[in-house]
C-alpha cells in the first residue's frame, strides 16, 4: 500500500497512569513518529491523555502534558492505558473506568501496556477476552480477578482489545499494527529505523528461559523447579516431585545438592516467599490471605518464614511502602 493512498490520520491515545513506565511509552510511540517520517505524511498522531487533562509523571520523574480523556478520547482510533508502578497507582485510575467503557461502546479500540491490562480488567473490559500483562503483574491480576487468565505473551491482538507486556515488547506490537495498516514492507522499514531487526512473534516469551532463571540445564531439575513455580498455593512433597521428574527421591536430593545452593525444601520455600513478597507489593490481599495463597498453614508460620528470609515481617515490609520498579 502506497503511503499516498492513506488519507486519514489515526489518532492513537495513551492514557497515562501515575508512575507509568517511560520505556514502554517510548517503545509504543516512537514507531508511530518514525512511520510519519518515513511516509513523508502524517499517518499517526500520538495523543497523551489523563483522567483530568493534567500532566502525568513517569516513574523516572519526567512529566508529560496530557489532554482530557473524556474530551479527546472519542476522536481516537485506539486508546492504550499505559501503566507501571504498583497498586496505589492503579487505584488512582478508577475515575477512568467509566470513560473507558464509554469509549469501548463508541467503537474506540482499547488497549493496555505493561500493567495497563490490570486497569482494563478492573473496568470490566477484559471479560471473555484474550489478553496479556507484564509477567511481574500476572499473579496479582489473577488473584484480584479469578475469572481472568492472562497469556504469557509479548502482545495479544483480540479484535478491539490490544494488550502488551510492556518493556520493549511495544516495538513488536507496533510493528504488527503498522503492518496491518501499511503492509509488512513498510513496517519492516520502521523497525529497521530503530535497529529492531529481530521482531518477535506475539506469543514469544516475556522472560528468560528456565535454565537462565535457575542457573541449571539439568532437565529433571528444571522440571521440578518449574513445577515449584506453578504450585506455590499447594506445594507438592518430594515423592510427588520425584515421580513427576521420573527419578528417585534420593536422586532428587542429590540433584539439589550438586546443582543449587539450597536444598529441596528451602528452594521451594524461597520460591513461595518471593511470590508472597510480590503479592505484598502489588495486591490488596491481607497477610492471612497471602499466607494461604502461598501454601503456608497459618499467618504466623508465614510471618516467621518471611522474616527469616527478608529480615522483616510482612506487615513491616508493607509499611515500608515498597513498590515495583519500572517495567
Beta bridge partners of 155: 164
pLDDT attached to residue 3 = 43
d(CA 208, CA 198): 16
Distance from CA of residue 126 to its chain's centroid?
14
From first to last of its 327 residues, the chain has per-residue pLDDT tens of: 344 455 689 999 999 999 999 999 999 999 999 999 999 999 999 999 999 999 999 988 999 999 999 999 999 999 999 998 777 788 889 999 999 999 999 999 999 999 999 999 999 999 999 999 998 888 889 888 999 999 989 999 999 999 999 999 999 999 999 999 999 999 999 999 998 888 888 877 776 666 767 788 888 998 999 899 889 989 999 999 999 999 999 999 999 999 999 999 999 999 999 989 888 887 778 899 899 989 999 999 999 999 999 999 999 998 876 443 333
228 Cβ contact list (under 8 Å, min separation 6): 235, 241, 267, 268, 271
- The x, y and z cell numbers of residue 309, run together, are 528470609
d(CA 316, CA 45): 46
Which domains are assigned to the chain? Answer: 9-193 (3.40.50.880), 210-316 (1.10.10.60)
Measured CA angle at 160 (ends 155, 163), to 5 deg: 20
Name the region of 19 (left: φ>0; alpha: ψ -120 to 50; beta: rest). left
User: Integer distance in angstroms from the first to the last C-alpha of the chain?
Assistant: 35
The pTM assigned to this predicted structure is 0.72
Amino acid at each position: 500500500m502506497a503511503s499516498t493512498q492513506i488519507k486519514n490520520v489515526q489518532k492513537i491515545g495513551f492514557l497515562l497512569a501515575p508512575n507509568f513506565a517511560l520505556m514502554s511509552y517510548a517503545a509504543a510511540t516512537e514507531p508511530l513518529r518514525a512511520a510519519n517520517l518515513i511516509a513523508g505524511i502524517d499517518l499517526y498522531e500520538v495523543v497523551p491523555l489523563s483522567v483530568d487533562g493534567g500532566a502525568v509523571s513517569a516513574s523516572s520523574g519526567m512529566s508529560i502534558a496530557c489532554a482530557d480523556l473524556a474530551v479527546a478520547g472519542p476522536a481516537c482510533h485506539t486508546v492504550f492505558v499505559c501503566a507501571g508502578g504498583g497498586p496505589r497507582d492503579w487505584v488512582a485510575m478508577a475515575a477512568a473506568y467509566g470513560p473507558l467503557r464509554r469509549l469501548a461502546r463508541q467503537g474506540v479500540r482499547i488497549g493496555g501496556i505493561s500493567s495497563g491490562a490490570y486497569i482494563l480488567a478492573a473496568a470490566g473490559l477484559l471479560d471473555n477476552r484474550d489478553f496479556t500483562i507484564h509477567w511481574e503483574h500476572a499473579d496479582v491480576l489473577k488473584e484480584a480477578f479469578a475469572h481472568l487468565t492472562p497469556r504469557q505473551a509479548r502482545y495479544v491482538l483480540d479484535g478491539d482489545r490490544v494488550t502488551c507486556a510492556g518493556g520493549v515488547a511495544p516495538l513488536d506490537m507496533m510493528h504488527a499494527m503498522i503492518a496491518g495498516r501499511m503492509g509488512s514492507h513498510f513496517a519492516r522499514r520502521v523497525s529497521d529505523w530503530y535497529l529492531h531487526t529481530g521482531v518477535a512473534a506475539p506469543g514469544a516469551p516475556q522472560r528468560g528461559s528456565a535454565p537462565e532463571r535457575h542457573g541449571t540445564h539439568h532437565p529433571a531439575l528444571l522440571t521440578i523447579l518449574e513445577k515449584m513455580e506453578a504450585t506455590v498455593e499447594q506445594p507438592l512433597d518430594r515423592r510427588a516431585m520425584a515421580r513427576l521428574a521420573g527419578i528417585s527421591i534420593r536422586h532428587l536430593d542429590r540433584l539439589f545438592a550438586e546443582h543449587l545452593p539450597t536444598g529441596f525444601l528451602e528452594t521451594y520455600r524461597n520460591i513461595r516467599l518471593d511470590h508472597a513478597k510480590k503479592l505484598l507489593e502489588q495486591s490488596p490481599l491481607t497477610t492471612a490471605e497471602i499466607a494461604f495463597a502461598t501454601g503456608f498453614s497459618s499467618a504466623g508460620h508465614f510471618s516467621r518464614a518471611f522474616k527469616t528470609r527478608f529480615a522483616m515481617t510482612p506487615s513491616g515490609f508493607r509499611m515500608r511502602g515498597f513498590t515495583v520498579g519500572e517495567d
